[in-house]
Structures are given as C-alpha cells and as structure tokens.
Structure 1
Amino acid sequence: MIQQTVVIKSNKYGITLCLDKDIAFRDLLSQIAEKFKASAKFFGDAQMALSFEGRRLSESEQLEVVQTIQENTSLEILCIMEQDTLTEAYMKEVLEDRKKELSASDGKFYKGTLRSGQVLEAGSSIIILGDVNPGATVVSKGNVVVLGSLKGTIHAGAAGNEGAFVAALNMNPMQIRIADAIARAADDKPDKKSRKAKETSTGPMIAYTEDGNIYMEPITKEVINDIRI
C-alpha cells in the first residue's frame, strides 16, 4: 500500500493536515494544492482552524501552506493551532472567539495585538485595531490597514490584486507582499520619487506596487486622494 504524502482530516470546525516528513517541501505544496482543489466543493467557504501533524513547519512554510489552501478553495483559515489542543470542542470555542473579534459583516475588522506565531486570514480588506508584532502574519485578499505598529509579515492582494495596498501608523515590517511582489526588511529600493523604503520607516506610511515593485511613502492628503479602494 502506497503511503499518502498529504492526508486531510477534518471536522465541523477544523482541519488537520497529516504531512509526510521526508518529501521535499515544494512537492508537498503541490500535493496540498491538488488535495484541496479536489475538495473545494466539499469545504465551500467555511471558516476553520488549521493544524499540522507528522511534520514540523517553519512560520514561513505554514504561511505558504495557508496561501496554497486559499488559492485552491474558498476556505478561510482563521487560526493555526497546536496539535495537542486540536479537539473539536476546543476548536469551536477558539473559532467563536475569533469570529467575535472580526466584523460580523465580512471580517473587515480585527481588534487586538497579533503576537509572534499568530496568523490572521481575511477574505476581504481588513483594518487591524492594534499592533502586528514580529513573527505575526496577516494575509488578506484586499487591503491591510494597521492602526498601530506594523512589525510582522503582511500579504495584501493575496488573490493576485496588484492594486492592493498596506498602510500603518508605524511602518516597520519584517516583510510586505502585495500580490506577487515582495519587499523584506533588508530591501532598500528607491521609489519613483527617489525616496527609499527603509526598514526604519516610521510614522503613517503606505506601501503599494508599481511595475512589479513595492514602494513606500508617508501618508499625505494627496496620497489618500489617489488611493484606489
């Protein structure tokens, strides 16, 4: 009997991905994409918790798995949980708490600080009323606005929207991704006005894409007038 490299175990509130520990990660992502694409109709647009079993993944690998699931289904992963807490009753409690934190309409608001290891997913633009700490990750199909300090990882326009933007009261991210464009803290690219998007950027800033690059500049009245919603 051939052992499957990816096994999906699910209940009403969450999914456990049982992953082969020996297969190359890129091959594993391909298998995950195939599995979820085939199961897309079964899951629909449910909001669920996610846990991993059989293989230890880094934060960046976990993010790539979440993005792969998102690209192949309409699922919304609200949180990633440790395997030893993954019981149906506990997942129900966590998901209900998370849904209360999000806007009752379509998940447009999140109140609180996102700490290292936390992953917040949104199927639309999201406003975070708090800080995004180093090691925390936000993935949104639309825009991301942080009414606090942004020091973690952000992926806006996750479904390929190159017109998405990221704004924060204090902009100092580890990584920003808008659609397929990526800028990291160590990047030091000039924008179209010859300013530099430095990792030490502070104050209200906005990040956007142009010609496949990410640029960052202070938020002004003129910039606000140019923002596409």
Structure 2
Amino acid sequence: MLDKKQLITIKGTREGLSLFIDDSCSFDDAMEDLNEKIIASRPKNDEPIVSVKVKLGNRFLYEAQKDQLREIISEINRFTIHSFESNVIHREEALAWKEDSEIKAVNRIVRSGQVLEVKGDLLLIGDVNPGGKVVSTGNIYIMGSLYGIAHAGSDGDLSTFIAASFMKPSQLRIADYISRAPDYESDGVYMECGLIDEVQDKIIIDRLQVLSHKRKEISGFERRMQNG
C-alpha cells in the first residue's frame, strides 16, 4: 500500500508551485492528502496568491474532478490553478487530434470553380487548374501542377507550407498571409515550395530542399504516411 505522504508532491518554481499527483492511487485518497498539504502550506493573508501547475501524470480528470481540485486549490486558501498537465487525453480529443494531424491523400484534378478542403495535411495527386482552389488546415503537397489557389494553415498555423511539382499559382495563402501571381516567375517553377519568411514577413518561394532546415517537423510526414 502506498504511503499517503507520497501521493502529493509540491515543488516550488519561479512561476509558483508545481503539484504532482501520484497517478497510481485513487482520486479520493489523493484529494484527502492534498487537502492536508494545502492547509499546512497556506500563505499568509498579506502574501500574494500562489499560482499552481497541477501535473497529473498518466491520470485523466473529468470536469467534476477538476472542480473538486479547484475548491481545494482556491483563492480562499491563497492558491490558484494555473493549468492542468496530463499525459493522457479524452478519446474525443484524441480523435480530433488524429483528424487534424493525419495526411489526406486525394487523387483527382481540381478544376475551375471547384474547392477541395480538408483538415490536416493534404497530399493531392493531380493538378489544381486555374480557378480551382485547395484549402488545408495543415501543409499542402501537390504531385502535379498548381495553377489555381492554394491555402495552407487555414486555421492560422504560420508554420505550414505549400509544395508542388510545378508551381504557377494565381494565389498562395498561408494562414492570413497572401501572395499573388506577380510574385512568381512568369514561366512557373518546378519542385518548389511556398512558406512564410519571418524576416521578410511575407510568403516566399524556395527550393524543396530548404524544408528539411526550415521545417524540421517535415520528417513526421513519412511516419504518418507509413502509419496511416
């Protein structure tokens, strides 16, 4: 049986306190021990309220349990919860994360007037014709020609990019940044990518090879394709 003294560990940090809850004990036992420790370490009334990060390890808390924690780690006791940190998430959150991060492979031509919109990264095997549009919350990879509009990071992700076998778009958009056709060579470019340059504060066109240096997370693309 676990020693109750081991259920709750409190450590001071520059930002306040980090509170570790043993993830192998029952929640009720942890709350009993926490209540004792909070009362024993309560700051004086003339001292600032202390911010607390609650670290849960491999424990998931429901809202009712979080509310119970908030009652103990409260301003009445001179504490306030800054955040909850857990190694696990709810199934619905996991499914939403999977949808946002997976590769959507599509084999088609996006013709004039058509819009192809996906969550996560888009791998299009085909062309985007003039007047066609592709939109993704993640990166866009086009194994074909891009003549129309491509919008990556539609939810506001500035780190996303657009890559195409042949690039001569009427418009590129990354998050809220927009770059139009006059920014590109009149004949188009092969095996290039569009991404935001923070120094120039605009979308630039560069060689695909730069992605391994400027977007190191690109290595995850191969893993996600292999894992489905």
TM-score bracket for this pair, using the shorter chain length: 0.3 to 0.5
Q: TM-score, normalised by structure 1?
A: 0.47
Structure 1 or 2: more strand by fraction: 2
Which of the pair has more CA radius of gyration? 2
TM-score by length of 2: 0.47
